[in-house]
Amino acid sequence: MMPGLRPLRHHPVDLRQFIRDVPDFPKPGILFRDISPMLRDPNGWSEVMKQLCAVCDRLNPDLIVGIESRGFIVGTALATQKKIGFVPVRKPGKLPGDVTGVDYTLEYGSDRLEIQSDALSDGASVLLVDDLLATGGTAAASAELIQKAGGKLVGCAFVIELAGLAGRDRLPAGLPIDSLIRYD
């Protein structure tokens, strides 16, 4: 470097500019945070991957686990960037072969998530990835499923967190949880 010149500093892109607010979706009273504009913008999506790669570098997982369905988009892109494997967590009846499942309670009713039984049987360290952390029910069920299937959960990463819904409180205590965008 030439004398007197300082190295360029990277200023993170404000990812909020790529999020579209959709009022009253999927039902009245809900403000939906839509990542579609982010997915369409190569600069925005590249910044998401850059920031999530930094999370991966810090936690050093063996595998990325993504939650159906937008977690597949985020998770497979991240796994490809980091050259590590990807494992899907799906709704019932979507995975072939033997599966391990977890039933969990939703605001109005219950649901189930499944993972292929042999996907984590070697005790792989796992980073759980999804687009959104809201009330935390699906993420908490996925964390339980990872452990039940033999994996070691080393952290969670979300593109967006709706902090006012306190979803991170439902995840295991002491677990690193990274959110690129937080809405209070």
pLDDT for residue 2: 45
101 Cβ contact partners less than 8 Å away, ≥ 6 residues apart: 92, 112, 113, 114, 115, 145
- Confirm whether 107 is a catalytic residue: yes
Which domains are assigned to the chain? 60-183 (3.40.50.2020)
Instruction: Provide the whole-model pTM.
Output: 0.92
Low-confidence ranges of the chain (pLDDT < 50): 1-2, 7-8
* Angle between the N-to-C axes of helices 42-59 and 70-82, in degrees from 0 to 180, rounded to the nearest 10: 70
pLDDT for residue 1: 44
Q: Which candidate in 70, 112, 170, 182 is catalytic?
A: 70
**Hey, CA dihedral for 155, 70, 49, 96, is it positive or negative?**
positive
pLDDT for residue 4: 52
| CA–CA gap between residue 184 and residue 111 (Å, rounded) | 27
Q: Which candidate in 6, 33, 68, 107 is catalytic?
A: 107
Strands 31-34 and 125-133, how do they pair? unpaired
| CA–CA gap between residue 70 and residue 158 (Å, rounded) | 11
pLDDT digits (tens, 9 = 90+) for 38-80: 999 999 999 999 999 999 999 999 999 999 999 999 999 999 9
